[in-house]
Homo-oligomer: A and B are copies of this chain.
């Protein structure tokens, strides 16, 4: 069983972190960017369930929170690249942990979550794409 080391705080840091990760696509965006999927059009392709607008909004929030850096090349056609900041990178262990936990408990989670009428499509929507991307994208 899991042993807690620091029983100090209740949830304050928790809420700050939750704020940063608050948004349907933010963890996924951070994850993707960390894997060198850094251009808007690529991200858009990666998340068929998301609109350009929504992605832009969430990326802007991530940028505003200092997790992501945006580089705009003044060309025609325009080119934009996102990258993780240092603090953004420091978030990756959490993202990875979430990813691994979800994967490790997939069968159970899919069962209990499918009971729930609301989420089904949302969580499923992403999975096919995840198959397609099983090969690490190499861009840039």
Chain A contact residues, CB within 8 Å of chain B:
1-2, 4-21, 27-28, 31-32, 34-35, 46, 61, 64-66, 86-87, 89-106, 108-110, 112-113, 115-116, 119, 122-123, 126-127, 129-130, 133-134, 136
Contact = CB atoms under 8 A, between A and B. Distances in A.
Q: Which of A17, A104, A122 has the most CB of B within 10 A?
A: A17
Given A10-B129, A11-B32, A16 B113 contact: yes
B119 A19 contact: yes
- The A contact surface, by secondary structure, is helix
Q: Please give the count of copies of this chain that the complex contains.
A: 2
A99 B32 contact: no
A57 to B, nearest CB: 13
Contacts of A16: 102-103, 105-106, 109-110, 113, 123
Contacts of A92: 2, 4
B14 A27 contact: yes
Given A32-B10, A116-B64, A130-B11, A93 B98 contact: no
A14 to B, nearest CB: 5
Given A93-B97, A94-B98, A101-B91, A66 B112 contact: yes
B89 A130 contact: no
A119 B61 CA distance: 12
